[in-house]
Amino acid sequence: MTTTVPRRLPRRARQLLAASALLILCAAPFGTRADATEAAAGLRTVDQDVQALKKELVDLNRDLFRLEEELLYPASTQVAVFLSVNVGTFFALDSVQLELDGKEVTNYLYTEREVAALHRGGVQKLYLGNLKAGEHELVAVFTGKGPHDRDYRRGTTVKFDKTIGAKYVELRITDRDSALQPEFDVRQWE
């Protein structure tokens, strides 16, 4: 059977398809040039307003954050315990428990995202509280998995003297010399 394609159809169809291909490949977000200009101007104006508003919100949050700390944890009684990690990525931290003067104050379970942040150099403010001046005892225990899925549980006890100023204690999980065993290294900051 002889096939006959209407001569008019392909040419028109090709033109139509070509025109529609243009639409497909660059589906413009706005209907017309005037619309686009108007919309872009609208976005810019709102964007500038929103930027100014965001800045005010950042400032407000800063002041609220500061008020909260100064009101709840004044420097004269403030004790902060920080946690940092300086081990190879082979060690996956699961949890850290803190006891202050025999009382559990934190039992923190870590998400993958938090562990990654610690490995990248972030330092977590693990505990913020109040203590009277004098001698205190901090007991910290961490658990996690090391190479070959081996479970680790390590602890440390620190006695520290709380004076009039804020007290910072840094618990650093670090590699034991050459043995690749994670353990606590404690530093005190005034």
Partner 1 sequence: MTLTFPRRSASWLVAVSLACAEPTAAASRAGATEADLPPPSSIRNLDYGDVLFHFFQDDYFGALVRLEVAQELRRLPDHPDEAALLAGGLYLSLGMHLEATRRFEQLLAGPVPRSVADRALFYLARIQYQREYLEQAERSLARIQGPLPGDLEAERRLLASNVLMARGRYGAAAAALEGWSDASGWADYARFNLGVALVRSGESPRGRELLEAVGTAQAGDEERLALRDRANLALGFALLQERQPEAAAVALNRVRLDGPFTNRALLGLGWAESEASRPERALVPWLELRQRPVVDAAVQESLLAVPFAYARLASNGQAAEQYRHAVSAYAAEARRLDESITAIRAGGFLDAVLEAAPAGRDGPGSVSWLWQLQRAPDAPHTRYLYQLLASHGFQEGLKNYRDLRIMQDDLARWSSSLEAFDEMVAARERLAGGRDARKSEFLSATDLEALQRRRDAIDARLDRIVTERDVTGLATPVEAAQWQALGALATRIDALPPGAQRDALAERARLLQGTLQWQLDATYKLRLSRQHAGMRILDEALVEARQRVGQIEQASQLVPRNNHEFARRVDELAERMARLQPRVDAAAAAQERLLAGIAVRELEAQKARLASYATQAQFALAALYDGAASGGAR
**Is the four-CA dihedral 125, 190, 99, 65 of positive or negative sign?**
negative
Residue closer to partner 1, measured from CB, 109 or 153? 109
**Can you tell me whether residue 185 is helix, strand or coil?**
strand
d(CA 155, CA 173): 10
Residue 118 contacts partner 1 per CB under 8 A: yes
Between the alpha carbon of residue 33 and those of residues 37, 43, 98, 121, the distances in Å are 6, 15, 63, 49
Residue 15 contacts partner 1 per CB under 8 A: yes
Residue closer to partner 1, measured from CB, 14 or 153? 14
Please state the closest distance from residue 126 (CB atom) to partner 1, in A: 10
Residue 86 contacts partner 1 per CB under 8 A: yes
Residue 117 contacts partner 1 per CB under 8 A: yes
Residue 64 contacts partner 1 per CB under 8 A: yes
User: For residues 136 and 107, is the Cβ–Cβ distance under 8 A?
Assistant: no
- Which of 101, 116, 150, 153 is the binder for partner 1 (CB under 8 A)? 116
By CB under 8 A, what part of segment 143-172 binds partner 1? Answer: 168, 170
Please state the closest distance from residue 148 (CB atom) to partner 1, in A: 25
Question: Within 10 A of 127 (CB to CB), how many other CB atoms are there?
Answer: 20
**Can you tell me whether residue 106 is helix, strand or coil?**
strand
Residue 137 contacts partner 1 per CB under 8 A: no
